Structure 1
């Protein structure tokens, strides 16, 4: 688990910033994908869009625990 947040030589603040940016990007990509499945914007199920995006963001953060390439060990 390279660059894992639980390692003492990894800057936690940098890790949270990088993980947060990744999570927001993942959430946006998921929202666009779910919205894109609707034939018309008026038929978009916004609850599904939001819940899917939130789940994707949580999964992204949990995946980032194993390590983020942007955060180097010191």
Structure 2
């Protein structure tokens, strides 16, 4: 694996992790206010946000592209 690929993977993983954390916290906060936490929905929404973040990163990452 080239150094450029490793750098991209690291940046994309960090970005996806942050996106997943933000999505989980927002969903959890909303569910808590409503009084019920639908865990399967929360987990699938969080996973989808991470996947979409990775796919968006394919278009380019400002951290890498400068």
Same fold (TM over 0.5): yes
The TM-score, its normalising length taken from structure 2, stands at 0.85
Structure 2 residue 56 is matched with structure 1 residue 55? no
Which gives a bigger RCO, structure 1 or 2 (Cα 8 Å, sep 6+)? 1
Rg comparison, structure with higher value? 1
> 1:72 Cα deviation (Å)?
3.8
Structure 2 unpaired stretches of 5+: none
Structure 2 residue 22 is matched with structure 1 residue 35? no
Structure 1 unpaired stretches of 5+: 1-9
Q: Which runs of 4+ in 1 moved over 2 A?
A: none
Q: How many residues align?
A: 62
